[in-house]
Amino acid sequence: MPYSIMMDAGHGGRDPGAVYNGRQEKDDTLRLALAVGEILQNNGIDVEYTRTTDVYETPFQKATEANEAGVDLFISIHRNSFPTENTAYGVESLVYDLSGLKYEIAESIDQQLETVGFRDLGVKARPNLVVLKRTKMPAVLVEVGFINSDVDNELFDANFEDIALAIADGILDVLRSQGLVPEEGTGGGNTPGGSTAPGYRVQVGAFRNQQYAGRLLNELLEQDYPAYLIDSGDYIRVQVGDYADMDQAVEMERRLKRDGYQTVLIRG
């Protein structure tokens, strides 16, 4: 059976969530949850939704739906808010506790969203949130920027497709590295030397926008990193190295992290 994920769009119906200048959290979350779900489906994931329209369900109802559906993973999409507008900005992911698959996925999502331009506020434990406490499978709640931050809203609107891809990519990279879903085929000619199955690579970013990918690539090349692009499917990945030895890949990842890059180790 294919791996299954329940996508939850936060709030809905009579519950607008956070509101700022007429913008409602429930609208942003529904649009983004559907977009992420579509990308996951295109990558062989069985996706279900707590809602696909503007309806309200309690957090407990959403957790119950996921439990009854028997899905493997629960992802809840939200927008953050702060008492003072245009003060806080950035993304953060919430999990029941800082351990296991859910924590790895939360970190990966945040790292991918940072490559789009968000400030990464990190992963935090929130054991009292119902959708994290009552779900029987690993669950992650993603706060995709502050809705009362003009900076985050501009980023959200201008880079919506890249944001959806970043969240999906953050999930898929961890599931693939854990062997829970098949590795993505890269195709010949996209990796250095035209190899079709590199052993280990370090991914530094994934974009729909060619300009963003090219900008990161040039930045890495200027620092003598063996960087390249993999242009496959709906997005462009910026990766470094092609190693048969995992230790070499881990050392490269450490070097990139020391230089301030957010990375994911990929096994081909």
Query: pLDDT tens across 116-138, in order?
Result: 999 999 999 999 999 999 999 99
| Section 19-33 average pLDDT | 98
Mapping DSSP to helix (H, G, I), strand (E, B) and coil, where does residue 240 land? strand
Q: Is the pLDDT higher at 197 or at 170? A: 170
Look up residue 249 and give its two tokens: 């890949």
| Section 162-171 average pLDDT | 94
Look up residue 148 and give its two tokens: 């009362």
Amino acid at 217: L
Q: Within a 13 Å sphere around the CA of 126, how many CA atoms are in the beta-carbon half?
A: 17
| Section 189-205 average pLDDT | 61
- In the chain, the N- to C-terminal Cα span, in Å, equals 22
Mapping DSSP to helix (H, G, I), strand (E, B) and coil, where does residue 9 land? strand
In the predicted model, is pLDDT for residue 197 greater than 80? Answer: no
Closest CA to 163 of 172, 155, 174, 175: 155
Cβ–Cβ contacts within 10 Å for residue 22, how many? 5
Mean pLDDT over each residue of the chain, to the nearest integer: 90
Closest CA to 73 of 160, 180, 164, 145: 180
In the predicted model, is pLDDT for residue 77 greater than 60? Answer: yes
pLDDT-based confidence at 188, cuts 50/70/90? very low
pLDDT confidence of residue 67: 97
In the predicted model, is pLDDT for residue 169 greater than 80? Answer: yes
pLDDT confidence of residue 248: 87
In the predicted model, is pLDDT for residue 66 greater than 90? Answer: yes
In the predicted model, is pLDDT for residue 115 greater than 60? Answer: yes
Given a contact cutoff of 8 angstroms between Cβ atoms, the answer to whether 200 and 264 are in contact is no
pLDDT confidence of residue 250: 87
Phi, psi of 179, rounded to the nearest 5 degrees: 75, 20
pLDDT confidence of residue 244: 83
In the predicted model, is pLDDT for residue 179 greater than 60? Answer: yes
